Amino acid sequence: MGLERDAGPRTELSRDILHQPVLVAECIDLLGAQPGKTLVDGTLGFAGHAEALLHETAPDGLLFGLDRDPQALAASAERLAPFGERAVLLHASFRELRDALKARGIDQVDGVLLDLGVSSVQLDRAERGFRFSESTAEQTPLDMRMDASQGETAADLLARASEETLTDWFRRYGELRGAARLARTIVQTRREAPLLTAADLIRLTREARVGGGRRHHPATLVFQALRIAVNDELGALEEGLASALSVLAPGGRLCVIAYHSLEDRLVKHFMRDAERGCICPPKDPICTCGREPSLRRVTRRPVRPGADEIAQNPRARSALLRAAERLAA
């Protein structure tokens, strides 16, 4: 099995992978996974989808798996070892998909899968700081990086971002009521002491009285907003969708699983616009942009997990799967 760049040391994760992939059968069907196909899992995670796709494309199909998280790559390398050279793992973000494949001599593929968000294994590891528990908040660092070896942590961003920027993040990425009030509270508080742990942020969320009336903990949306900002998730998604489209062979399929409205809206609009092609104003009598349709939407509405899957894996309940097919150039 090929592995571009060092995936890092093997960890306990590789011996006890708990992540449950969502909508596996639906992904296999919509991607048209068959023997001999070359597919890309742009968000490899802990290889649940990749393993299923490799089984479906046996005996001669090829899968390229990309991930920013060295721990995930190390665990996936063990899980996919039985598939040998048919599984090629790359330490890269899916926004770098086109360049990562080109470096391996691959210009076109038959399908691309993007499973957005954070895996269950990442969520459940307190040191990654993606989620919080009241009982362990004091020990949970404000990190939230998909690749913990590089980039700024959530604590770094909270220390330097302006009040206006923080307000924008909480409002756009968390759709949080009281975003400006929380941003102001953070800026005032950090003058006295830095925010370093989940407990620090939870305390300020309560002090700022944000998100009142929601059924879940208001800090949930605050953590979501910071995670998106730390990892530039929406920027990565925009670039990743364009990159995926550029490597799809005619008839190839793009499947994307989103977990909240911000992601799903972006995916929906990308596929709709690629299907329409022309971006000229409606009032223009003729097309001057020259853009041709490049995708055909296979799913007009998102595919959702069934009741049985949600019962077995409650975290699947928010998953939204959309698929589109590449048109001939």
**What's the average model confidence in pLDDT over 66-90?**
94
Mean pLDDT of the chain: 88
For residues 96 and 202, give the distance between their C-alpha atoms in angstroms, rounded to a whole number: 34
Per-residue pLDDT, 122: 54
Per-residue pLDDT, 133: 65
**What's the average model confidence in pLDDT over 133-148?**
82
For residues 39 and 69, give the distance between their C-alpha atoms in angstroms, rounded to a whole number: 20
For residues 120 and 45, give the distance between their C-alpha atoms in angstroms, rounded to a whole number: 9
Tokens of 47: 């290889």
Taking the whole predicted model, whether its pTM rises above 0.85 is answered as yes
For residues 25 and 31, give the distance between their C-alpha atoms in angstroms, rounded to a whole number: 10
Per-residue pLDDT, 287: 77
- Contact indicator for 112, 97 with CB cutoff of 8 Å: yes
For residues 49 and 20, give the distance between their C-alpha atoms in angstroms, rounded to a whole number: 9
- DSSP per-residue codes, 226-295: HHHHHHTHHHHHHHHHHHHHHHEEEEEEEEEEE-SHHHHHHHHHHHHHHHH---S-TT-SS--S-PPP-E
Domains along the chain with CATH numbers: 2-121+233-326 (3.40.50.150), 128-231 (1.10.150.170)
For residues 185 and 200, give the distance between their C-alpha atoms in angstroms, rounded to a whole number: 12
Q: What is the largest CA-CA distance in the chain?
A: 63
pLDDT at 8 over 80: no
Tokens of 23: 């909508």
Per-residue pLDDT, 5: 38
Per-residue pLDDT, 216: 66
Give the residue carrying structure tokens 């070359």: 38
Q: State which H helix or E strand residue 40 sits in.
A: strand 38-41
Per-residue pLDDT, 215: 60
Q: For residue range 11-34, list pLDDT tens digits in order.
A: 444 444 456 899 999 999 999 999
- Contact indicator for 209, 70 with CB cutoff of 8 Å: no
Rounded percentage of the chain residues whose pLDDT exceeds 70: 86
Q: For residue range 127-136, list pLDDT tens digits in order.
A: 555 566 666 7
Which residues are within 8 A (CB) of 308 and not within 5 positions of it... i.e. 6 or more apart? Answer: none
Q: By C-alpha distance, which of 140, 136, 174 is closest to 155?
A: 140
188: number of CA atoms within 13 Å, CB side? 9
- Contact indicator for 256, 267 with CB cutoff of 8 Å: yes
- Contact indicator for 227, 3 with CB cutoff of 8 Å: no
